Amino acid sequence: MRDELASGERSSREVTEHYLRRIDELSSLGAFVYVSPDAMDAAAAADERQVRGQIGRLHGLPTAFKDLNEVTGMPTTYGTAAMKHHVARADHPLVARLRSEGVVITGKTQVPEFGLSSYSENLVAPPSRNPLDPRLTSGGSSGGQAAAIAAGMIPVGPGSDGGGSVRIPAASCGLVGLKPSLGRIPSDVVDGYLDSFGAPKLTVSGPLAHDSLDAAMLLDAMRGSDHYLPLLRGSYPERLKGLRIGYSTHSPFESAYSISLQPAALQAFERAKQLLSERHRVEPADLRYASDYPESFLRVWSNGLRHIQLEDEGLLGDLARDFRQRSAARSMEVSLQAAARLKQISADFVRQWSAHDVILTPAMASTPPEVGYFTDSDADTDYMRQCQYTPYTSMVNVSSVAAITVPISNSSSGMPMSVQLISPRADEGLLLALAKQLGK
């Protein structure tokens, strides 16, 4: 589609009209919280640019952005009812980057409050539901994006990942989800590589797509340079052999919570080991994670909540309210200590993983839970259930390296099950090539 739009074989108006119709038809999925009334005008302008030969890497291609990213002329809710929903006067740097590549922005997609959670439910709009089974969550925090792509409301879309927020919804909806290494997307580090407490910055932007080629196409556009798509279209994926791939089902959350894998998750994991062993050396990885990781991560993950300016704190959801109160009560000394400790843990993760070229883990521990599963109890139970569903994702953010989730098989109920591949050397091209070898 990208190539046909660039050549003029298809018009952006034709393609955009198709996707807007899909958005309207599937509104019950809750993927979109705002649909742009100006999308068709933007598509017409894209067609005029094509005639003049002024095209970018994603010329005329419809997409959407999470409701955590400011898009000029569109309201931003950040998934919370506790703030006024101002209309953005300027684009978020990632939005500006992709707008310069010619995308047509169809709207904003659903997220959890402040992007905190592995499900996309809030008090602002209906929850984002899984297109493969609307009773179930589409994941989070890029849950609306994943639902929109999986349901055919947009062809491809950018997400952000602070603890698994690209990989979790990708795995929930049967997509490829890439979490790049910190700094691979320039717009992620315009204000540096550390947070205000000195911890590694957790959140990066990454593509969600149906396959590795689409993910590589979007990654190139997000970076503003061609590399990953030409790499995947060349001979590299076929030539890639002999990697040392260490596999493990250990999670750094085991010291705090009971972590168990559903048979469907184990089945996908075993199937991936079998497929990868046809080209590579697949071996067990002896990984020993720090027992204080859960506490250190939680403190760093919630530290920033204390600084958010709210209109009405009473309109916060339970999780955000409780963790914001704990963040505010935490001393600066304790916050700084947690940041310093997480840097040490991060270095240890990378040291252990680097005994192998790639680390293979399950993606999620189970099929996606039902909408409302995480929020039917108190904040601690909510958070525990999230860690039990996503026991392997946040450690990658802490380590600032790259990881990808790839669908491998289906559960007995027909839900896709994925695995995660981690590159301790932050090699996104390697991960995309492995995804292609795995059939995606």
| 236-245 pLDDT, tens digit each | 999 999 999 9
Q: Assess whether pLDDT exceeds 90 at residue 200.
A: no
Q: What average pLDDT does the segment 73-90 reach?
A: 98
* Confidence at 231, pLDDT banded by 50, 70, 90: very high
Determine how many CB atoms are found less than 10 A away from the CB of residue 379.
17
CA dihedral for 66, 76, 112, 304, sign (positive or negative): positive
Give the count of domains, the chain.
1
Angstrom distance (rounded) from CA 245 to CA 273: 9
* Confidence at 85, pLDDT banded by 50, 70, 90: very high
| 17-28 pLDDT, tens digit each | 999 999 999 999
- DSSP letter string, 323-388: HHHHHHHS-HHHHHHHHHHHHHHHHHHHHHHTTSSEEEEES-SSSPPBTTTTTSS-HHHHHHHHHH
Q: What average pLDDT does the segment 149-155 reach?
A: 98
Per the structure block, which two tokens stand in for 433? 């090539």
Proportion of the chain above pLDDT 90, given as a percent: 99
The region of weakest confidence among 122-126, 276-280, 304-308 is: 304-308
Catalytic residue among 118, 138, 160, 165: 165
Q: What average pLDDT does the segment 188-195 reach?
A: 94
Q: Residue 28 sits in a domain of what CATH number? A: 3.90.1300.10
With a CB cutoff of 8 Å and minimum separation 6, the contacts of 362 are 249, 261, 265, 266, 268, 269, 392, 419, 420
Q: What average pLDDT does the segment 15-44 reach?
A: 98
Catalytic residue among 12, 118, 138, 141: 141
Proportion of the chain above pLDDT 70, given as a percent: 100
Comparing CA positions, the residue from 261, 432, 435, 283 lying closest to residue 359 is: 283
What is the chain's mean pLDDT, rounded?
A: 97
Residue 66 is among the residues annotated as catalytic for this protein: yes
With a CB cutoff of 8 Å and minimum separation 6, the contacts of 415 are 132, 133, 136, 174, 264, 367, 368
Determine how many CB atoms are found less than 10 A away from the CB of residue 270.
14
Q: What average pLDDT does the segment 280-303 reach?
A: 97
Determine how many CB atoms are found less than 10 A away from the CB of residue 263.
11
Angstrom distance (rounded) from CA 59 to CA 62: 9
With a CB cutoff of 8 Å and minimum separation 6, the contacts of 325 are none
Residue 165 is among the residues annotated as catalytic for this protein: yes
With a CB cutoff of 8 Å and minimum separation 6, the contacts of 307 are 196
Per the structure block, which two tokens stand in for 177? 């989800």
**Domain carrying residue 54:** 2-437
* Confidence at 381, pLDDT banded by 50, 70, 90: very high
Residue 179 is among the residues annotated as catalytic for this protein: no
Angstrom distance (rounded) from CA 88 to CA 330: 32
Catalytic residue among 36, 66, 296, 366: 66
Q: What average pLDDT does the segment 287-313 reach?
A: 95
Please check whether residue 380 is in contact with residue 388, taking contact to mean a CB–CB distance below 8 angstroms. Answer: no
Q: Assess whether pLDDT exceeds 90 at residue 162.
A: yes
With a CB cutoff of 8 Å and minimum separation 6, the contacts of 56 are 100, 101, 102, 221
In a 10 Å sphere around its CB, with 0-12 CB exposed, 13-18 middle and 19+ buried, how is residue 7 labelled?
exposed
With a CB cutoff of 8 Å and minimum separation 6, the contacts of 3 are none
Give the CB-side neighbour count of residue 44, counting CA atoms within 13 A: 4
Angstrom distance (rounded) from CA 125 to CA 128: 9
